[in-house]
């Protein structure tokens, strides 16, 4: 299947993973069985693709083993860095508890830990399955709030401290959202994936201004 829209191709080439680390590690532990990892695309995206090819079938994103491994590594490194920072500040903890002085020290310090979003209600990753069905219920988007946050992002994009590549990626996602908002039938799945992509880029930036925008993004996606 040939996709002429670059932005749309990006949307169907990746999925955000809400599985717990223990679930992913369990899947990776079974790799000697030669199983194939796949994640069914969202229902609305499935329908769009069926209409495009005029054929009733199921579309899934096939996931490479190293993609799952990178998730585990990212979480492990985040926890490790956090632990090292706590140790440097003399916050060690004994028996899974912290002393009053350690709690006071922690309260005076700032520890930045990446937040991995996503409800975990059973794994979205499947292994070598056929004709499986998953149902995902999405909340209705507040289009007025969406227009406001897109406008804010456009105005403040240069103040987020992003490199040129990241800035271009956010601008591309904003264009996708604006295109959907101008459509008589906006595709909420495409909008949500664009918002998640923007959030992922901004989470790496940090800063108070970005934090305020992330809160607004979270209210739209949750």
Tokens, residue 134: 């998953």
Report pLDDT for 2: 73
pTM over 0.85: no
pLDDT tens for the chain, 222 residues: list them.
Answer: 677 778 878 778 877 777 888 888 888 877 666 567 888 888 888 888 888 788 888 888 888 788 888 888 888 888 877 777 777 777 666 555 556 665 566 555 555 554 444 443 445 555 555 555 554 444 577 888 888 889 888 888 888 888 888 888 888 889 988 888 888 888 888 888 888 888 888 877 766 667 777 777 777 776
**Structural domains of the chain, ranges and CATH numbers in brackets:** 1-136 (no CATH), 138-222 (1.20.1270)
Distance CA 214, CA 119 (A): 17
CA distances from 6 to 99, 176, 198 (A): 54, 10, 16
Report pLDDT for 119: 40
């Amino acid at each position: 299947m040939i996709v002429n829209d670059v932005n749309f191709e990006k949307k169907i080439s990746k999925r955000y993973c809400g599985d717990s680390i223990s679930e992913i590690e369990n899947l990776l532990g079974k790799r000697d069985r030669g199983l194939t990892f796949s994640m069914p695309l969202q229902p609305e995206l499935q329908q769009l693709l069926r209409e495009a090819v005029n054929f009733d079938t199921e579309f899934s994103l096939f996931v490479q083993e190293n993609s799952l491994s990178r998730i585990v590594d990212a979480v492990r490194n985040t926890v490790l860095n956090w632990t090292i920072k706590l140790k440097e500040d003399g916050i060690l903890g004994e028996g899974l508890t912290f002393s009053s002085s350690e709690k006071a020290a922690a309260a005076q310090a700032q520890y930045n830990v990446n937040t991995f979003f996503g409800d975990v209600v059973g794994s979205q990753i499947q292994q070598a399955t056929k004709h499986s069905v998953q149902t995902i219920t999405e909340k209705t988007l507040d289009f007025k709030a969406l227009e406001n946050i897109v406008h804010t992002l456009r105005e403040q994009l240069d103040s987020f401290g992003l490199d040129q590549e990241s800035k271009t990626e956010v601008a591309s996602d904003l264009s996708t959202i604006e295109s959907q908002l101008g459509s008589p039938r906006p595709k909420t799945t495409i909008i949500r994936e664009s918002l998640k992509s923007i959030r992922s880029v901004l989470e790496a930036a940090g800063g108070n201004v970005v934090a305020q925008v992330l809160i607004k993004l979270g209210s739209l996606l949750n």
